[in-house]
Chain A
Amino acid sequence: EAGVTQFPSHSVIEKGQTVTLRCDPISGHDNLYWYRRVMGKEIKFLLHFVKESKQDESGMPNNRFLAERTGGTYSTLKVQPAELEDSGVYFCASSQAGLGYGYTFGSGTRLTVV
């Protein structure tokens, strides 16, 4: 089975620009999560989708971040406009419905805002 796919793997943008990250979860996984790791610190929760609905977006830093999950399949995370502090590695993960244990993570998108 294909794993969680994220692209791009790296993105370097200037402050003020817009970037869109994409995540394709494992087929059949209703739960999709976005997490972020900044500057070697802890991995922090951003939000959780169940199918196309946002179940929990309590970790979204501010309204410059917009996440969508079209038709309950892939998800995008848009940052507009990007700020220097948005730099970090953005991880997407997915899990089957009803399972509270470990998810499957993608390899992440390293975002650098200069």
Chain B
Amino acid sequence: DQQVKQNSPSLSVQEGRISILNCDYTNSMFDYFLWYKKYPAEGPTFLISISSIKDKNEDGRFTVFLNKSAKHLSLHIVPSQPGDSAVYFCAASGRDNFNKFYFGSGTKLNVKP
């Protein structure tokens, strides 16, 4: 059973606007969450992370929000740029094995110029 879910397979946003990508998880033991970005024919690259002791982490244009009670996290990209067009995966790991990540199925973001 899939423990990390990204229910939106695609998202289209105008350049300069905010992109919001969502992710839900089911396992309350998950302690650490990451977002990866993937371009075609490349491997996923690490974007930003957050641990369960925080509810927000920022890195430049990228902010991740964690709502533990709702088992929900989101990635905000402001402002969105055409180079942000890629597939975004969220991933989670638990305190019992922080080396093993559970990934969602990805959301394809298209930022239109």
Show the binding face of A for B, using Cβ within 8 Å.
Answer: 4, 9, 31, 33, 35, 40-45, 48, 55-56, 58, 91, 93, 95, 100-108
Q: A42-B89, A95-B99, A104-B46 known; 17 other A-B pairs, CB under 8 Å?
A: A9-B41, A40-B105, A40-B106, A42-B2, A42-B4, A42-B102, A42-B103, A43-B44, A43-B106, A44-B103, A45-B101, A100-B99, A101-B46, A102-B46, A106-B43, A107-B42, A108-B43
User: With A42-B4, A91-B43 given, is the CB distance from A101 to B34 under 8 Å?
Assistant: yes
List, in ascending order, chain A residues with CB within 8 A of B43's CB: 4, 91, 93, 105-108
List, in ascending order, chain B residues with CB within 8 A of A56's CB: 97, 99-100
> Closest chain A residue to B101 by CB distance?
A45
Whether the Cβ atoms of B34 and A102 lie closer than 8 Å is: yes
In the assembled complex, B45 has its CB within 8 A of some CB on chain A: yes
